[in-house]
């Protein structure tokens, strides 16, 4: 496998892990309904919509730090690939 393909696959794997973790969290803070669907708490939905509509530079430091933690995960993969 070419280096570019290896890097692509590594990042796709990392992205899937990040997405899976987020979905696990989403389901854990939602209410499962009888029909199998989920209901998100109104306050959480309101907060997430606000964050989604806010540019990074306008986020609170706590919100920015959360995004930085995700980037650190990606950077660790980049550093590992560079060392190979």
Burial class from Cβ neighbours inside 10 Å (0-12, 13-18, 19+) for residue 69 reads exposed
In angstroms, the CA 60 to CA 58 distance is 7
Written as six digits, the tokens of 68 are 């930085």
In angstroms, the CA 58 to CA 38 distance is 30
pLDDT by residue (tens digit) across 40-73?
999 999 999 999 999 999 999 999 999 999 888 8
Percent of the chain with pLDDT over 70: 100
Domain that holds residue 11: 3-83
Q: What is the pTM of this model?
A: 0.72
Domain total of the chain: 1
pLDDT by residue (tens digit) across 14-42?
889 989 999 999 999 999 999 999 999 99
């Amino acid at each position: 496998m070419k280096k570019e393909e290896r890097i692509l696959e590594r990042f796709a794997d990392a992205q899937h892990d990040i997405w899976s973790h987020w979905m696990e969290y989403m389901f854990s803070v939602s209410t499962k309904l009888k029909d199998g669907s989920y209901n998100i708490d109104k306050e959480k939905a309101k907060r997430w919509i606000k964050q989604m509509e806010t540019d990074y530079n306008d986020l609170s430091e706590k919100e920015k730090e959360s995004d930085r933690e995700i980037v650190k995960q990606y950077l660790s993969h980049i550093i590992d690939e560079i060392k190979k």
